[in-house]
Structure 1
Amino acid sequence: MNSTKPSGEINFEQAIQKLDEIVSNMENSNLNLDSLVGNYQKGIQLLSICRKKLDDAEFKIKEATTDILSDKQNDSRQN
């Protein structure tokens, strides 16, 4: 059974690790132009995944913070 996830299901840490591997490979090898372009494209896709996951995390944090502050304000109004 294949355990790889579609790119939309990759977690942040996996995406960063793959991105790091791509960058390292591009820096330390004599790849031809087509390979470089392919690696660049994969890197851009991984970067996009990372940014989306960071944006989602930031939204959840802001939402949780807003909920907590709202609850505190409601509690202080009731007292």
Structure 2
Amino acid sequence: LGRLVESTVVINDAHPAYRRAVASRSEGYHIALAVALALARLAVPPAEAHEFVTAFLVRWGEALDGARRKSRSRS
């Protein structure tokens, strides 16, 4: 899905899962998942990778909630 090259996660846009994500307009989720999986390899031992990915996606989802709160307070 993606790989870490120095300090950049490179997304494999030729991967069938990416093409499916584009077709279903879910590229953002696909990219977040690919980033989480790539970072998990460096951040935690293999046995903790699932927990890392889950926590990463929770924070990613919460970021949207924060953005909504900020835009509402500006209105």
Provide the TM-score with structure 2 as the length reference.
0.43
**Max radius of gyration: which structure?**
1
Higher strand content, 1 or 2: 2
Provide the TM-score with structure 1 as the length reference.
0.41
Higher helix content, 1 or 2: 1
Higher relative contact order, structure no. (Cα contacts within 8 Å, ≥ 6 residues apart): 1
